[in-house]
Amino acid sequence: MSVRKLKPITPGQRFRVVNNFDEITTNKPEKSLTVGISKSGGRNNTGKMTMRYTGGGHKQKYRIIDFKRNKFDVEATVKTVEYDPNRTAFIALLEYADGEKRYIIAPTGIKVDQKVISSETAEPNVGNAMKLKNIPLGTVISCIELKPGQGGIMARSAGSSAQLTSRDKKYVIIKLPSGESRMVLGECMAMVGAVSNHDHMLTVSGKAGRSRWLGRRPRTRPVVMNPVDHPMGGGEGKSSGGHPRSRNGMPSKGYKTRKKNKASNRHIISKRK
Does residue 262 lie in a domain region? no
Does residue 90 lie in a domain region? yes
Does residue 245 lie in a domain region? no
Domain containing residue 196: 3-201
For 83, list phi and psi in degrees, rounded to 5: -80, 140
Provide the domain count of the chain: 1
Does residue 259 lie in a domain region? no
Find the farthest-apart pair of alpha carbons in the chain and give their distance in angstroms, rounded.
70
For 45, list phi and psi in degrees, rounded to 5: -70, -10
User: How many residues are there in the chain?
Assistant: 273
Q: How far is CA 249 from CA 13, 53, 229, 232, 246, in A?
A: 39, 19, 11, 9, 5
**Position 4, amino acid:** R
Does residue 96 lie in a domain region? yes
Cα separation, 33 vs 24, in Å, equals 18
Does residue 224 lie in a domain region? no
Please list the pLDDT of the chain residue by residue as tens digits (273 residues): 689 999 999 999 999 999 999 999 999 999 999 999 999 999 999 999 999 999 999 999 999 999 999 999 999 999 999 999 999 999 999 999 999 999 999 999 999 999 999 999 999 999 999 999 999 999 999 999 999 999 999 999 999 999 999 999 999 999 999 999 999 999 999 999 999 999 999 999 999 999 999 999 999 998 889 999 999 888 887 776 678 999 999 998 889 889 999 999 999 999 987
29-33 long-range Cβ contacts below 8 angstroms, 24+ apart? 29/61, 29/63, 29/82, 30/80, 30/93, 30/101, 30/103, 32/101, 33/63, 33/64, 33/93, 33/101, 33/102, 33/103
CA-based R_g, the chain, Å: 22
Does residue 233 lie in a domain region? no
CATH number at residue 69: 2.40.50.140
Q: How far is CA 50 from CA 6, 217, 220, 230, 251, in A?
A: 38, 14, 16, 16, 21
CB contact set of 59 (below 8 Å; sequence gap of 6+)? none
Does residue 263 lie in a domain region? no
Cα separation, 250 vs 180, in Å, equals 24
